[in-house]
Amino acid sequence: MKIGLLQLNPVVCDFEGNARGIVQACMEASGQGADICVTPELAVIGYPARDLLLREDILEKCMQSVRFIARETSGVGPLLLGSPWCFPGRTGEVYNSACLLDKGRVIKVFSKVLLPEYDVFDEKRYFCAAEAPGVFEYKGKVVGVSICEDAWNDEDFWDRPRGGVNPMQELARQGADIIINMSASPFGLGKHGIRQAMMGSLAVKHRVFFIFCNQVGGFDDLVFPGRSMVFGPDGSIMGRGREFERDVFVFDTSNPAKSDSHEHDLDVPAEAWRALVLGTRDYVRKSGFSRVLLGLSGGMDSALTAAVAASALGPENVTGVLMPSPHSSPGSIDDSMKLAESLGIKTVTLPISSLMQGFDQALEDVFSGMHPDVTEENIQSRIRGNLLMAMSNKWGDMLLNTGNKSELAVGYCTIYGDMAGSLAVLADVPKTLVYDIARWLSTKGGPIIPEAIINKPPSAELRPGQKDRDSLPEYDILDEILRLYVEKGASMQEICTRGFEADVVQKVLDMVNRSEFKRYQAPPGIKITDVAFGPGRRMPLASRCLIKGW
């Protein structure tokens, strides 16, 4: 059997565009000899559609789109199509389903059994769970149908399975020769190796071909890497889809050697870079923008953000804005201009000294008798934020925020200032990884970030001689404490047993806890780690436990 995997990048609720893309991909696969085609999970509407799934008119459009695609693909073989589905007579029940289309009709509907309700997933808010998965027969084979999470509950692979029904076991019991898993499984650093091992183990355990067809693209804060795969009954990988781009490839169960296969680069800086580029490109374009601007400080974060933007959208669509103050070093200005020249992006320079003086004069009376402090430093950042937003409004360009995860975690950023923007490209990238990506780029022929920027001690340059290390631990120490506390949920005592000084840990945890209100108002960021500051992390703002790090 030749199975066409349609690794697609839909746009949420672009029903016409998504349907055209599905039909076109189906025709491509058919032209390559596919007997049957498979889309990712919820390909008709795109994943995640979130609360749009609560609207009856949206659900009706999903149903109409399924019927349209059935008619348009009636001349080729069967198609397993991911879509929300409402069964006749079941008022108020919506299912995350796989519709089997053939000869212009919906032949059978299979629905998702396990609905995830953790991290960024909220599927029980929108869908009903099926009691069991199902199979169908085609070309003398029994084909089992599963949807994403259905494959993630094997008690022999996981130390702590979720319990309850095991859809893979049930499909094996029904005699499946082939198990198809239609997925919208997001990207995460290190996740692909786990996914690959798990699916290979399922193929071996149940002695089946395991077909994993994954969504690709950026969807708000999430990135889906594609990386569709086919596993043989011995657990070996017999076919790989492209990573971080649309792909249509056909796998022949009777002749695996003739199937397409693309290597997957699991080097951390490499996959982080590609996720950021794809996430930025899709967020900007799917939001209806084509151009972006960002502030250029001469530092590492704005340099990497500019490099991502130039690669994602083309350098001609990126503007870097320099806003020097009396505290800006000549090197920072020169480094910013060298970066812009290296990337090929446009620049605008707007000195802010006169604006700082205007604020000082306006506040002179109300601040009388008070010494300058962080208030004046933050005013500089807010001046810059105002200028950037003004240009964004006037030009119709999206403003990219340049802050990294380490700064956002400890609140080393100014609300309504350098936190301004529509997308925080590096919001889930720790500072140490920012440097790793920059160094990786210089060795892989990517956008070149000047060595002077990479080697420069990090500084906000809001006061004379300021350095990040004046206020923060060294970033290698800070990032490890943050990883343990934010991503792993470790307590202060547990972190201290790793060899960190108690007073340093206490300081970091206090900064994290006191800054929750800032993150609540931050722009969305591209998620690449296990725990990002976004929809998957839900912390109270008014709470006694936020006074001290526990």
**Known binding-site residue numbers for ATP:** 295-302, 402
Secondary structure string (H, E, C) spanning 406-435: HHHHHCCCCCCCCCCCCEECCCCCCHHHHH
- β-pairing, 2-7 vs 318-322, is unpaired
Beta bridge partners of 230: 211, 239
Annotated binding site: 118, 185, 191, 295-302, 378, 402, 407, 518
Active-site residue, from 148, 243, 405, 527: 148
| Residues whose CB falls within 8 Å of the CB of residue 7, separated by 6 or more in sequence, listed in order | 40, 213, 214, 215, 216, 226, 228, 241, 242, 246, 247, 248, 249
User: Is 112 marked active-site?
Assistant: yes
Distance CA 77, CA 99 (A): 14
Q: Are 499 and 399 in contact (CB under 8 A)?
A: no
- Give, rounded to a whole angstrom, the gap between the first and last alpha carbons of the chain: 57
Neighbours of 460 (CB within 10 A): 21
User: Is 41 marked active-site?
Assistant: yes
Annotated binding site for L-glutamine: 118, 185, 191
Distance CA 322, CA 310 (A): 17
**345-379 burial string, b = 16+ CB within 10 Å, else e?**
beeeebebeebbeeeeeeeeeeeeeeeeeeebbbb
Active-site residue, from 37, 41, 507, 527: 41
Q: What is the DSSP code string of 284-309? A: HHHTT---EEEE--SSHHHHHHHHHH
Q: Are 17 and 52 in contact (CB under 8 A)?
A: no
Residue type, 383: I
- β-pairing, 423-424 vs 222-225, is unpaired
Phi and psi, residue 60, nearest 5°? -65, -40
Query: How big is the CA angle at 404 (ends 277 and 544), to the nearest 5 degrees?
Result: 135
Phi and psi, residue 250, nearest 5°? -115, 130
User: Is 413 marked active-site?
Assistant: no
Closest Cα to residue 212, out of 232, 234, 189, 190?
A: 232
The residues that are catalytic are 41, 112, 148
